[in-house]
Structure 1
Amino acid sequence: MPQPEKRLDPGASPQEWFGFELRRRRKAEKLSAKELGLLVQVSADLILLVEKGNYPSLKREIAQRLDRVLNTGDVFDGAWPMAFGRRDADKRRPDADKRRAVKRNGTAQAPAGPILGRELLSSRSGSHEPVDRRAFLQDVGGLAAFAPIDLTQAFAPSRPAAPDSVSAVEIDQVRDIADAISVWDNKFGGGGVVREVAGRAMQWAAGLLQTSCADHLRSDLFASVSRLGIVVGASAFDSYAHEDATKAFRLAADCAEEAGDWHLRAKSYSFLARQAVWIGEPDEGLTHAEKGLVRSDRLTATERAMLHTARARAFGKMGNVRDCMAAVGQADEAFAQARPSEDPPWMRYYDEAQHNGDTAHALFDLAVLAGQDPGRAARRFDAAVNGHSEAFKRSRAISLTKLASLIMAKGDPRRAAAIGHTALDEVGRLTSRRAADDLRQLGAFAIKRRTVGEAMELHERIRTTVSA
């Protein structure tokens, strides 16, 4: 039997007024929460939480999209500062109001991105904070602490010297560096020297956006910096430097907009989605994934599979069985249509092993959180482990660890322990905090099987070899 709607008192608080007005206008347009969510690019759950006055930190971009979809004349944008602005301001950095606008003369900056027509440097609607590149350069400087080897100097000194103007040479260098960091990150993990090199490279490349650039090279420059931002963000994400990762991914998304590159845009939002799910914000992750799917007709089948997988992982973390399974089905359907020759070169990592591993993560959460059949996830993890090459050691190790955790929680603990020892051997050669955290989760499952000697031996090995 459907639950009655929560009665709202629009005079009780700004949030309740906002929710009351949203529900009233949605119903006046004869839209369901799901239909409105699709139009605004958020989940139905988010719409319903806002309508109940239970969503404390709504982004202003969403309020503005609600105004456009419901044709309110900016009612929600006007109400946003009172309802949500104080909380948003509390989250800003103390020095945020000290940032100054960047001068545009003679630089590679553009007035609006060709994809969504957004202003890159001004305060704008969107899930992104306003992008101030000088401030960004100061921020990424923290990523570029000196490493104890000279290799970093080959990519960027601590205070990179920008050329007088950007040429095709610098653009090619950014692309090559991005490719190299991606290879190292997948093979070794995002910590250690990989992170040091990535930070320096990002600082240097972001500096190119402050440099004069010929019009015919502008799109290529923004695309190359976007690609580098993605791999640097991935490295920071793997090292749990989440603030730095988010900055890099958001810069990548903005640069993709400026370049008019739908493929890089999709990849940026895919990573933002995965990161949000990982840090326990699945609703935010779902929003990012659905943004990435805007104009999905311009994406390759592989990219659509990647984004539907991100949606599945968000729904899985929410314990939403129906929508998670539907998203896995959509991901499988898209991947079945994949044509690798149509994909950008940097999407080649998303092969059958990667697809199996990513969808298995969503199904893992359903098995653990919602009591669903663990066999579905186990079969996909097994296929991922067997399919990943040496070039993707981290992905293989993570899938192996999750397979052991699943079997430890839902199956034979002795078999799980044997797999877990193999996973521990693999992770020991990586600098990945994500992989280490998955091992800790495996240890937590193992200790629940304290009557099984093999499980306790694995738990003890994990405890003594994986740092807290």
Structure 2
Amino acid sequence: MERRNFLAATSTAIAAGPLLQLLAATPAPAAPAVVRPADVEQIHSAATTLRSWDNLYGGAGVVRDTALAQLRWAAALLNSRCPAPLRGDLFSAVSRLATVVGASAFDAFAHEDAQRLFAFATACSEEVDNWPLRAISYNLRSRQAIWRGDPDTGLTLAELGLARADRLSPAERSMLHNARARALAKMGRTQPTLAAIGASDDSFASIVPAAEGPWMAYYDSAQHHGDTGHALFDLALAGHPPQEALRRLQTAVDSHGDGFARSRAFSRTKLATLQMAASDPEQALAEGLSALAEVSDLRSLRANHELAELGRVAHRHRSLADVRDLREQIAAAVAL
């Protein structure tokens, strides 16, 4: 596809509706007339830095505004003259940055913007046959659909991401099997969920970190246990034995470093919620208070939503004064 036609085809994905206004209102320097290797490297560096900020601070604050400015400049490069040897790198870098910006929008509950950005990221990756980055975009599209209450679409998107799985790394395959597991768990399909988690575990066991792309640097033992623990969490709330979910979530909490504060807060909140549901309010209180402190340091509407769920589940132990106090603190925190 000619670049002119590609941009025409994808401009509605990136520019339609409120997102156009956001990008137009965000100042960014004019794109150069000719793309250089340094420009592509700048986009990759921006994606790496913004992703680390998103994990550390959440996507609902200054991270998202900064990300939008970077994306506007990067997307404009697609209109610049690009030497043929750089074309694949350019589209791949823009795809990677679009997933990062989309993830920040998702975290800020700007769902329509996130959906457009993820679709734009997919289009960029497919334009240059970058299967790993295509998988990244489909993983995020799947997770957003699941979050929005449409696990059936989430499952379809995860399985689309796994198309030509032979071209994906073990970490990329494991990541997408986790998305499948989370969709299946939301649909109440216990055995397929467990099978998807088993497939993820098998792929994870085959990972050679040095052979993975930089976009998968985040996918370590903590992330794997957190993602699979989240799927098992939904099964446990539906009556499946909770022990394995508790173990995996605890491993994630214990293993996440400070650079992944939001991921740790997600897993800790899920852990406390499941402990409350499993009638272990004393342990849940300790984890819940820690989760409350971690979420309070973030600008993440998703983290607030998870915290509110903990408050709702804790209602069953409202006869305990400490639980009532925790619920009051949660209510005050998520209202801010």
Class of the TM-score when normalised by the shorter of the 2 chains: over 0.9
Go from structure 1 to structure 2 and tell me whether the alpha carbon gap of 1:297 and 1:142 turns closer, same or farther (over 3 Å shift).
same
Q: Do structure 1's residue 325 and structure 2's residue 219 form an aligned pair?
A: no
Go from structure 1 to structure 2 and tell me whether the alpha carbon gap of 1:137 and 1:206 turns closer, same or farther (over 3 Å shift).
farther
Match of 1:169 among 30, 38, 41: 38
**What are the within-5 Å matches in structure 2 for residues 298-337 of structure 1?**
298-337=167-206
| Deviation for aligned residue 1:465 | 1.9
Partner of 1:205: 74
Q: Do structure 1's residue 429 and structure 2's residue 323 form an aligned pair?
A: no
For 1:365, the aligned partner's letter is D
Match of 1:439 among 307, 312, 318: 307
| Deviation for aligned residue 1:211 | 1.8
For 2:59, the aligned partner's letter is G
Partner of 2:15: 136
Match of 1:371 among 239, 242, 255: 239
Partner of 1:392: 260
Name which structure has the greater RCO, CA cutoff 8 Å, separation 6+: 2
| Deviation for aligned residue 1:131 | 1.9
Hey, what's the Cα distance between the residues in 1 that align with 2:299 and 2:257? 18
Q: Do structure 1's residue 356 and structure 2's residue 225 form an aligned pair?
A: yes
Rg bigger for which structure?
Answer: 1
For 1:466, the aligned partner's letter is V
Q: Do structure 1's residue 109 and structure 2's residue 14 form an aligned pair?
A: no
Hey, what's the Cα distance between the residues in 2 that align with 1:456 and 1:138? 43
| Greater fraction helix | 2
Hey, what's the Cα distance between the residues in 2 that align with 1:233 and 1:134? 12
Hey, what's the Cα distance between the residues in 2 that align with 1:305 and 1:290? 12
For 1:131, the aligned partner's letter is T
Q: Do structure 1's residue 464 and structure 2's residue 332 form an aligned pair?
A: yes
| Deviation for aligned residue 1:138 | 7.5
Q: Kindly, what percent of the aligned residue pairs are identical?
A: 48
Does the 8 Å CA contact 2:14/2:20 hold for their aligned counterparts? no
Q: Provide the aligned C-alpha RMSD in A.
A: 1.9
Go from structure 1 to structure 2 and tell me whether the alpha carbon gap of 1:404 and 1:139 turns closer, same or farther (over 3 Å shift).
same
**What are the within-5 Å matches in structure 2 for residues 118-157 of structure 1?**
120=6, 130-132=9-11, 136=15, 140-144=19-23
Q: Do structure 1's residue 418 and structure 2's residue 286 form an aligned pair?
A: yes
Does the 8 Å CA contact 1:190/1:239 hold for their aligned counterparts? yes
Hey, what's the Cα distance between the residues in 1 that align with 2:248 and 2:197? 12
Hey, what's the Cα distance between the residues in 2 that align with 1:184 and 1:325? 33
Hey, what's the Cα distance between the residues in 1 that align with 2:331 and 2:77? 45
Does the 8 Å CA contact 1:202/1:232 hold for their aligned counterparts? yes
Aligned to 2:3, what secondary structure does the other structure show? coil
Deviations 1:41-69 (A, max 9, x none): xxxxxxxxxxxxxxxxxxxxxxxxxxxxx
Match of 2:119 among 227, 239, 250: 250
Hey, what's the Cα distance between the residues in 2 that align with 1:265 and 1:317? 24
| Deviation for aligned residue 1:411 | 2.6
Deviations 1:179-209 (A, max 9, x none): 1101100111111110100111111111111
| Deviation for aligned residue 1:137 | 7.8
For 1:318, the aligned partner's letter is M
Aligned to 1:373, what secondary structure does the other structure show? coil
Point out the more displaced range, 286-295 or 130-139: 130-139
Structure 1, unpaired ranges of 5+: 1-103, 112-119, 123-129, 147-156
Does the 8 Å CA contact 1:414/1:452 hold for their aligned counterparts? no
Does the 8 Å CA contact 2:14/2:120 hold for their aligned counterparts? no
Does the 8 Å CA contact 1:185/1:194 hold for their aligned counterparts? yes
Point out the more displaced range, 391-400 or 209-218: 209-218
State the number of aligned residues.
336
Go from structure 1 to structure 2 and tell me whether the alpha carbon gap of 1:439 and 1:337 turns closer, same or farther (over 3 Å shift).
same
For 1:180, the aligned partner's letter is T
